[in-house]
Amino acid sequence: MTPQLLSIPMRHFLEVARSGSVSQAAARLFVASSAVSRQIARLEDGLGTPLFERHARGMALTPAGERLAAHLRNAQLDIEQVIEQVRDLGGQGAHRIRMACTEGFAAHFMPQVMRSFESLHAGTQLELHVGSPDGVSALLARGEADIALKYVVAPEPGLRIAHSSGAPVFAVLRPDHPLARRRVVSVADAVRYPLAVGDKGVTARQLFDQACSLQGLQYRAIFISNFSSVLLPLLRATDVMLSGHLTVTHLIDAGTVVARPFAEAPLQQRQLQVLALEGRTLPPLAQAFVQHLVDAIASAGRRKRGRARRAD
């Protein structure tokens, strides 16, 4: 059991901040809702400022509440880190790294990175949570993940960038596709073929739609999903799929697909970022994993994008 070093009002405040609801916070804390409300009111009176805006659908943090919540989350994570170090003094206890990533990295890239890291650091416990881009950021913000890997098109407040590199959107094709013989593909070329695209919450789809809008182009996708693992098996010889390079590196190596960059600037604007919570110092083992992950990203970036072959 981990000792509770935060005061009761602070713990109740953090739980309401996480859930956005007094009743949900009370259920998680195993206390009455009235007790949670009293602790929040007492904390606000002591600080002389409201920490929440009360709405019919729940509780939303005020700017002062956001500031306090960010500080307490970092403090809580630091406490957990110190407690783990104390427990491991004089022994070789298991060390945990909690990661989050979006779906495109989860099927092949991250398992390879996790396996290779564990072989270098025996006894490490590696947790991977897979979610939507917003969900991955929320896991970091709530302190439920130490490190996150995702595509980003704009800075995210409250998160620290541990690594950032360009991550353009690619046209993924079968090696015998007519466009596979080109070094660069245009959006106008792509829309002439059946398209497999992510849903509107996926960055590759957003940037592709932006490029089409700028050129006055329209398209009708035949397959749409927020999971690339659904789209990849559907890819036929005539289709074009939108994807990041890391998602399909294993298929390029196997010779079953090729990846071709788009010519248009909007499709070059995406970044691949390794993120942590702002203001938090990662423990040494997590820092080592970040470096291992960055090295794996760089290694994948140096790989070839596949060779075309003529259709029979």
Query: What percent of the chain is predicted at pLDDT more than 70?
Result: 92
pTM (global) more than 0.85: no
SS3 content of the chain, % helix, strand, coil (to 5): 45, 20, 35
pLDDT band for position 155 (50/70/90)?
confident
pLDDT band for position 84 (50/70/90)?
low
Indicate whether 102 pLDDT > 70: yes
Q: What stretches of 121-205 adopt beta strand conformation (E)?
A: 124-131, 147-152, 159-166, 170-173, 195-197
Q: Please, are residues 166 and 268 in contact by the beta-carbon 8 Å criterion?
A: yes
Q: What stretches of the chain adopt beta strand conformation (E)?
A: 52-55, 58-61, 95-102, 124-131, 147-152, 159-166, 170-173, 195-197, 223-224, 240-243, 258-261, 271-277
Calculate the average pLDDT of the chain: 88
Question: How confident is the model over 104-127, as pLDDT tens digits?
Answer: 999 899 999 999 999 999 889 999
What is the model's pLDDT at position 61?
92
Q: Please, are residues 245 and 204 in contact by the beta-carbon 8 Å criterion?
A: no
Of 250, 248, 76, 156, the closest CA to residue 148 belongs to 156
Mean pLDDT across the stretch 16-33? Answer: 89
Indicate whether 311 pLDDT > 80: no
